[in-house]
A and B are shown apart, each in its own frame.
Chain A
Amino acid sequence: GQQLNQSPQSMFIQEGEDVSMNCTSSSIFNTWLWYKQEPGEGPVLLIALYKAGELTSNGRLTAQFGITRKDSFLNISASIPSDVGIYFCAGRNNNAGNMLTFGGGTRLMVKP
């Protein structure tokens, strides 16, 4: 099946630093999504990308849909303690129904 490689697996940063994480796939996706999961909660959608090359921002978050359609990255600028959580990328291929393939997650820890 389709697989997503997400990196890094974890990050421990100082408050105020910028963060970058990415996902790569061996397959093409039509949609890339980025979710955040906080402890004891389900994932919540942060950003959705629908077109190759698309760059979308949501506050301090910026995500891009790679030109090859096989990768995406998420940047967080000026991190704050409430950014702590697990960030997941997910990809969807129109030819595979509406099933999302999830990456393994990036665990972000922010030191005040």
Chain B
Amino acid sequence: NAGVTQTPKFRILKIGQSMTLQCTQDMNHNYMYWYRQDPGMGLKLIYYSVGAGITDKGEVPNGYNVSRSTTEDFPLRLELAAPSQTSVYFCASTPAQFNTEAFFGQGTRLTVV
């Protein structure tokens, strides 16, 4: 029972490089989310999706892009990495709009140098 799977677990990027953080869930959940967690801080929502083909900005979307071509996958794209994007990124999913038990992946620790 995989749940929410994120890859990679760790990554170091140079300023200006790009990368895609992968997230996939096998629970057939409609809603998927990307959060970032900075040291000593709570989780801030970057982007979310209410279903395949639909995405929307969260609280801190600048510098990121997402796509949702399938129910299972919700990749997060960084086009021009900046040191301010050094953080731990979490993907999460929920089955329906008002079911709030969000299932989280294990996180991706990204360092931009």
Taking a contact as CB atoms under 8 Å apart, the answer to whether B40 and A31 are in contact is no
- Name the distance in Å between A1's Cβ and chain B's nearest Cβ: 6
A33 and chain B: residue at smallest CB distance: B100
8 Å CB interface, B72-113 against A: 90, 92, 94, 97-98, 100-102, 104-107
Q: How far is the CA of A77 from the CA of B50 in the complex (A)?
A: 38
Given known A-B contacts A40-B107, A42-B107, A100 and B45 have beta carbons under 8 A apart:
yes
Complex partner residue of A31 from B42, B92, B100, CB under 8 angstroms: B100
Given known A-B contacts A1-B59, A99-B58, A105-B40, A42 and B104 have beta carbons under 8 A apart:
yes
B6 and chain A: residue at smallest CB distance: A42
Interface size on B, residues (CB 8 A): 26
A43 and chain B: residue at smallest CB distance: B104
Candidate in A1, A6, A43, A45 with the most chain B CB atoms within 10 angstroms: A43
Taking a contact as CB atoms under 8 Å apart, the answer to whether A98 and B43 are in contact is no
Spell out B's residues near A (CB within 8 Å): 4, 31, 33, 35, 40-45, 48, 50, 58-59, 90, 92, 94, 97-98, 100-102, 104-107
